[in-house]
Structure formats: structure tokens, C-alpha cells
Amino acid sequence: MDKIPTSTRYIPAGMTGKVVYSLIAAVLILIGIAGLIVPVIPGILFLIGAVMVLSKVSSRVHHWSEGQTWMRGVRIRMIQMQGLRLFAKVRFVLLLGAKSVVSGISKLARAGSNLFRTSSRLFRNSARLFSKT
């Protein structure tokens, strides 16, 4: 079994590539920030994606991301995905995003259910308190 490399070489992109990657990174950052606010959108995934895209534009970001231990798993998956066809990559990313959205909706529903239970308990207790007087 071949050993999977955990780091990649920085290959500078041309000016057109830098502009395109920067625009994609800006969109990913905006979606990631929105995802941190709205629990249904998987914000962390988009922010990690932005770091990966920015590492193609900037050697500083590339070297910084290479030094982060929490990015190791992401790098390994990206290196493993290099051998896949485009359709398989797109399908993987869409399924991962769908899983994250479903997980976010599930967490939001649980939080709403807990809030409903807590508020109904408070309402019952306050009703008892006011009925005794």
C-alpha cells in the first residue's frame, strides 16, 4: 500500500487563476460566515474550503495550512481525491454538503423542541403560581 503524502507543493497560479481563486474564496468566506450565524448552513466546511482555495493563491496561506494539524485530514482527503474524475468529486462535495445541511436542520429542530419544552414548563409553573394567589 502506498503511503499517502500529507503535504503538497505550492505551485504559483497565474494572474487569471489568482483572480478566479480569490473570487471563489471570497464567496466561500461569505457563505462560511453566514453559516456560523445560521445553523442550517455548514459554515465550517465553507471556511475550510476557503482556506484550501486561498492556499492555491498565497504561499503564506499554503505554508500556514500545511503547519496546522487540524488540516491534516482535509489535506489527505484532497490528495486522495486527485485521482477521482470530476463527476465523482462533485458528487462527493454535494453529498457532504447535503449531510451537513441535514445535520444542521436536525440540530435546529432539537433546539426548537427543547425551547418549546422549556417554555411550556415555565408557562405551567407561572400559571400555577398565579392561580394560587
Q: Which residues of 25-55 are buried (b: 16+ CB within 10 A; e: fewer)?
A: beebbebbeebeeeebbbbebbbbbbbbbbb
Stated pTM of the model: 0.54
Q: Which amino acid is at 68?
A: Q
Q: What is the mean pLDDT of residues 9-36?
A: 80
Q: What is the mean pLDDT of residues 83-99?
A: 79
The domain limits of the chain are: 1-83, 85-133
Lowest mean pLDDT among 46-55, 82-91, 111-120: 111-120
pLDDT at 1: 47
User: Are the beta carbons of 55 and 67 closer than 8 angstroms?
Assistant: no
In what helix (H) or strand (E) does residue 62 lie, and over which residues does it extend? Answer: helix 59-67
Bigger pLDDT: 38 vs 11: 38
Banded pLDDT at 125 (limits 50, 70, 90): low
Q: What percent of the chain has pLDDT over 70?
A: 75
